[in-house]
């Protein structure tokens, strides 16, 4: 499976997730399918960092589209999801995840160069900083919040060990949805959301490291445009 294939799957499942709100007025089976989208986007950020020639331009591009997408996101959110809450769109979450990866990579190149570094200090410091960045994302009410940033970082951290990547992602899903089931009591929708979110790792694990067709800007523009269309059509 190529990067192009993953992006198409993410776009389709995200669209199905969002169109569920105006059509069904709330939770539906389309929201279950939509849980597949974010982990794929998070994985693409990790891959984007690995292959980009200029990480700062990559960050600025995410920041630009985060601002471009905020009004469409908030309009959609107010109309179909929750009229009483303000939050930041998923581009901000992905940007925070990218920043966490970049900081960790810088630490790895600097601290990790020392032969005296027997305790992998760059890993410890990198994890602490990532948690702080994730906490900031949670405080700012970004879409997917704390866990969203952690998932982005996790995909990069285990980029060379697919088995560890799969296990860690499943563990994060179990923690997230297991916590909800324990605190709020068992219910089928939460269980199904957890299962569908976890299933995204199947597509990610099939990725072969090839790019395929380039649709970089389609991916960026699709998010705010489809939110605006749904807002005005419905």
Please enumerate in sequence order all residues whose Cβ is within 8 A of that of 84, keeping only pairs 6 or more positions apart, or say none: none
pLDDT of amino acid 119: 56
Most distant CA atoms of the chain, gap in Å = 62
Among 5-9, 106-110, 198-202, where is mean pLDDT lowest?
A: 106-110
Render pLDDT for 142-174 as a digit per residue (tens, 0 to 9). 999 999 999 999 999 999 999 999 999 999 999
Q: What angle do CA 103, 108, 111 make, to 5 degrees?
A: 110
Domain regions of the chain by residue span: 3-233
The pTM of the full predicted model, rounded to 2 decimals, is: 0.94
Closest by CA position to 93, among listed 41, 56, 30, 53: 41
Render pLDDT for 37-71 as a digit per residue (tens, 0 to 9). 999 999 999 999 999 999 999 999 999 999 999 99
């Amino acid at each position: 499976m190529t990067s192009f294939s993953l992006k198409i799957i993410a776009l389709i499942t995200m669209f199905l997730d969002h169109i569920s709100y105006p059509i069904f007025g709330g939770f539906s089976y389309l929201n279950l399918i939509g849980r597949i989208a974010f982990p794929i986007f998070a994985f693409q950020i990790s891959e984007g960092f690995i292959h980009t020639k200029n990480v700062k331009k990559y960050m600025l591009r995410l920041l630009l589209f985060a601002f471009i997408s905020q009004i469409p996101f908030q309009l959609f959110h107010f109309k179909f999801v929750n009229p009483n809450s303000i939050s930041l769109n998923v581009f901000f979450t992905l940007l925070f995840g990218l920043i966490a990866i970049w900081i960790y990579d810088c630490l790895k190149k600097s601290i990790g160069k020392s032969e005296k570094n027997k305790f992998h200090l760059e890993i410890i410091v990198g994890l602490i900083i990532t948690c702080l960045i994730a906490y900031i994302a949670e405080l700012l009410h970004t879409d997917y919040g704390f866990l969203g940033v952690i998932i982005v970082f996790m995909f990069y951290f285990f980029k060379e060990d697919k088995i560890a990547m799969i296990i860690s992602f499943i563990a994060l899903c179990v923690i997230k949805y297991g916590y909800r089931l324990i605190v709020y009591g068992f219910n089928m929708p939460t269980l199904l959301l957890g299962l569908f979110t976890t299933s995204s790792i199947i597509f990610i694990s099939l990725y072969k490291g090839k790019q395929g067709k380039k649709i970089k800007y389609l991916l960026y523009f699709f998010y705010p445009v489809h939110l605006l269309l749904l807002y005005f059509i419905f």
